[in-house]
């Protein structure tokens, strides 16, 4: 089907060789060939009036003899341009929509929607007679078009923002050059499991779309899926743990532990260090003590020296797991409801890309209960920090195996959990 640009190109080529009647017939034929919406499309592409295109369609359809057809008018005939009949109409319209006068409190459309219908009403108040369709045509002639808002302001940036990213990049390259594992971690958006709409389109039999719920109330869901991703930068492979409870620091570290046990330990059998890049919020927040405590336990179990680098606030989209793993999972979910947990698992594990990305998946219910999360919130852990080597403003720390922390945190944690459970039992009683 011809596009507006193609029709405009043909119009410019034919305009100099056709008289008024032939041009009208050509426009009508183009509109008929396009089908539904052809009149508006041709009118926008050529600048001809909608009624002119309609007359051309009628003349093309009619089989009148040439003697009965309307003759070509003499030069200068026809309706006069609107700026000649109503002088100053373009200036009046410009004053209503101009970006400079738009902020004027006295402007008529300062606090209203600037639709063509509203502009038509305001133009009538200024004693100009013009339709909304003509207003849209005039606006296009003046260089205006429908524009949405554009996100451009990020607020104040840290003065060392560039140094922060350079430090993260240099550290990652250093680990990769030494053959040490580098993983990017984050939690994907929680997804309701059930007959809910997912944006996007997928090939289906004609007029047979997949029927889903009108509303997406959580009470209508089978459950919720919480995918936590671990992306191996060197191997271009992903590991996703799907939780069905809560997104907690314990669940996040358990996902990293599962990746290391199933994949990392075999792929990096001689490694002594691990670099983790993460954003500064959520279950792997830079301020979460439970996250650091669980990572310390992981370092004690594996004997790895774990280095963690957090991206500055508001820059999580630069974390590789976002655009190397989660974006592909989202594309695999487009246009289809996540009817059950099996659908979630299969659509994630089946994802592959031309660049060689492979995804392995572990379905787990390793989310932490709220009582346990409250109990671990008060436990402080001292970690060795590499603050001296960090760029100013960058959050990073190094966790090493510590014999003194192997047994004592477990005893403290167990006692706190029992206290929380006893308090819950007393409240229930």
Q: If you count DSSP H runs as helices and E runs as strands, how many of each does the chain have, helices first?
A: 18, 8
**In this structure, are strands 305-310 and 395-399 parallel, antiparallel, or unpaired?**
antiparallel
- Confirm if 279 and 186 have CB atoms less than 8 A apart: yes
Whether 148 is in a domain gets the answer no
Regarding whether 249 and 183 lie in a shared domain, the answer is: yes
Q: Tell me, what's the pLDDT at 276?
A: 96
Regarding whether 197 and 109 lie in a shared domain, the answer is: no
In the Cβ-directed half-sphere of 167, how many Cα atoms lie within 13 Å?
21
Residue 363, strand partner residues: 242
Regarding whether 179 and 242 lie in a shared domain, the answer is: yes
Number of structural domains the chain divides into? 3
- Confirm if 313 and 307 have CB atoms less than 8 A apart: no
pLDDT tens digits, one per residue of 85-143: 899 999 888 888 876 555 555 555 555 567 888 889 889 988 999 999 899 888 888 88
Question: 111 lies in which domain range?
Answer: 86-141
Regarding whether 281 and 187 lie in a shared domain, the answer is: yes
Both tokens assigned to 223: 């459950």
Regarding whether 273 and 344 lie in a shared domain, the answer is: yes
pLDDT tens digits, one per residue of 23-60: 888 888 888 888 888 888 888 888 888 888 888 888 88
pLDDT tens digits, one per residue of 331-373: 888 888 888 888 888 888 777 777 778 787 775 554 444 433 3
Whether 290 is in a domain gets the answer yes
Regarding whether 100 and 33 lie in a shared domain, the answer is: no
Write down which residue in 68, 97, 112 finishes a domain.
68
Regarding whether 420 and 350 lie in a shared domain, the answer is: yes
Cα separation, 350 vs 344, whole angstroms: 10
Whether 332 is in a domain gets the answer yes
Q: Tell me, what's the pLDDT at 73?
A: 66
Confidence tier at 68 by pLDDT (50, 70, 90) = low
CATH number of domain containing 357: 3.30.420.10
Regarding whether 187 and 225 lie in a shared domain, the answer is: yes
The SS3 call for residue 210 is: coil
Regarding whether 254 and 114 lie in a shared domain, the answer is: no
Regarding whether 243 and 387 lie in a shared domain, the answer is: yes
Whether 80 is in a domain gets the answer no
Cα separation, 7 vs 41, whole angstroms: 9
**In this structure, are strands 358-363 and 237-243 parallel, antiparallel, or unpaired?**
parallel
Regarding whether 13 and 117 lie in a shared domain, the answer is: no
Torsion over CA: 155, 158, 162, 166 (sign): negative
How is residue 306 annotated by DSSP? E
pLDDT of 412 above 80:
no
- Confirm if 110 and 151 have CB atoms less than 8 A apart: no
The SS3 call for residue 366 is: coil
Radius of gyration, CA atoms only, the chain: 33
Whether 156 is in a domain gets the answer no
- CA–CA–CA angle 340, 346, 349 (5° rounding): 140
CB burial of residue 424 (10 Å; 0-12, 13-18, 19+): middle
Residue owning tokens 């289809």: 336
Whether 154 is in a domain gets the answer no
Regarding whether 100 and 34 lie in a shared domain, the answer is: no
pLDDT tens digits, one per residue of 286-322: 889 999 999 999 999 999 999 999 998 888 888 999 8
In the Cβ-directed half-sphere of 170, how many Cα atoms lie within 13 Å?
9
Residue partners of 142: CB distance under 8 A and separation at least 6 = 90, 93, 94
Nearest CA-CA partner of 20 in 68, 75, 80, 61: 75
Residue 309, strand partner residues: 277, 396
Whether 57 is in a domain gets the answer yes
Whether 153 is in a domain gets the answer no
């Amino acid at each position: 089907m011809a596009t507006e640009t193609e029709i405009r190109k043909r119009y410019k080529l034919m305009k100099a060789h056709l008289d008024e009647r032939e041009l009208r017939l050509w426009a009508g034929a183009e509109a008929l060939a396009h089908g539904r919406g052809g009149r508006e499309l041709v009118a926008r592409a050529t600048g001809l009036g909608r009624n002119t295109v309609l007359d051309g369609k009628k003349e093309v359809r009619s089989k009148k003899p040439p003697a009965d057809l309307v003759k070509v008018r003499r030069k200068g005939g026809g309706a006069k341009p609107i700026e000649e009949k109503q002088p100053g109409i373009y200036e009046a319209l410009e004053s209503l929509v101009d970006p400079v006068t738009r902020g004027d409190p006295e402007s008529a459309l300062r606090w209203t929607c600037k639709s063509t219908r509203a502009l038509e009403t305001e133009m009538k108040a200024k004693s100009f007679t013009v339709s909304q369709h003509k207003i849209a045509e005039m606006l296009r002639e003046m260089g205006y078009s429908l524009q949405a808002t554009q996100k451009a302001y990020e607020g104040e940036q840290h003065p060392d923002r560039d140094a922060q990213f350079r430090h993260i990049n240099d550290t990652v390259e250093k680990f990769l050059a030494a053959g040490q594992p580098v993983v990017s971690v984050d939690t994907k958006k929680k997804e309701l499991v059930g007959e809910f709409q997912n944006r996007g389109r997928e090939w289906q039999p004609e007029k047979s779309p997949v029927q889903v719920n009108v509303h997406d109330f959580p009470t209508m869901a089978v459950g919720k899926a919480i995918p936590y991703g671990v992306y191996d930068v060197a191997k271009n492979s992903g590991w996703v743990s799907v939780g069905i409870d809560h997104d907690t620091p314990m669940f996040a570290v358990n996902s990293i532990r599962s990746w290391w046990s199933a994949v990392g330990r075999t792929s990096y059998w001689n490694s002594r260090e691990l670099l983790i890049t993460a954003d500064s919020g959520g279950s792997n927040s830079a301020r979460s003590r439970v996250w650091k405590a669980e990572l310390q336990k992981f370092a004690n179990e594996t004997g790895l020296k774990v280095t963690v680098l957090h991206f500055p606030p508001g820059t999580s989209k630069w974390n590789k797991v976002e655009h190397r793993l989660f974006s592909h999972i989202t594309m695999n979910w487009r246009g289809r409801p996540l009817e059950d947990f099996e659908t979630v698992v299969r659509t994630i594990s089946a994802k592959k890309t031309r660049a060689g990305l492979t995804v392995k998946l572990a379905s787990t219910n390793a989310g932490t209960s709220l009582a346990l999360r409250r109990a671990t919130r008060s436990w402080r852990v001292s970690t060795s920090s590499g603050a001296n080597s960090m760029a100013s403003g960058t959050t990073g720390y190094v966790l090493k195996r510590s014999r003194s922390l192997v047994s004592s945190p477990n005893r403290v944690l167990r006692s706190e959990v029992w206290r929380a459970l006893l308090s819950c039992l007393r409240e229930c009683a």
